[in-house]
Amino acid sequence: MRYMLKKNTAEVIRKKYRNSYIVEKVGLCTSYVSQIMNRKRAVPKNVAYTFTKSINSELEIEDLFDRVK
């Protein structure tokens, strides 16, 4: 199962956080985070989970991501 960042969510996150913050917190490479933020890449559940928790520990995956096939 893969997850794609929601469009409105991507815009809100982009305004609040820099990609470098997410790279540092999650431990992913810069280009991978950029692809996630620009909705060019669907990610597996474990990446969606760590990405979500790096933004806010109270959020769930479904708050930031849509399920895709």
pLDDT tens track for 16-52: 999 999 999 999 999 999 999 999 999 999 999 999 9
H or E stretch at 33: helix 30-37
The CATH number of 2-68 is which of 2.40.128, 1.10.10, 2.30.30, 1.10.260? 1.10.260
| Per-domain residue ranges of the chain | 2-68
* Residue 54 banded pLDDT, cuts 50, 70, 90: very high
Determine the Cα–Cα distance for residues 26 and 8; give it in Å rounded to an integer: 21
Q: Which residues pair with 65 in a beta bridge?
A: 5
Determine the Cα–Cα distance for residues 66 and 31; give it in Å rounded to an integer: 21
**Residue 28: phi, psi to the nearest 5?**
-95, 165
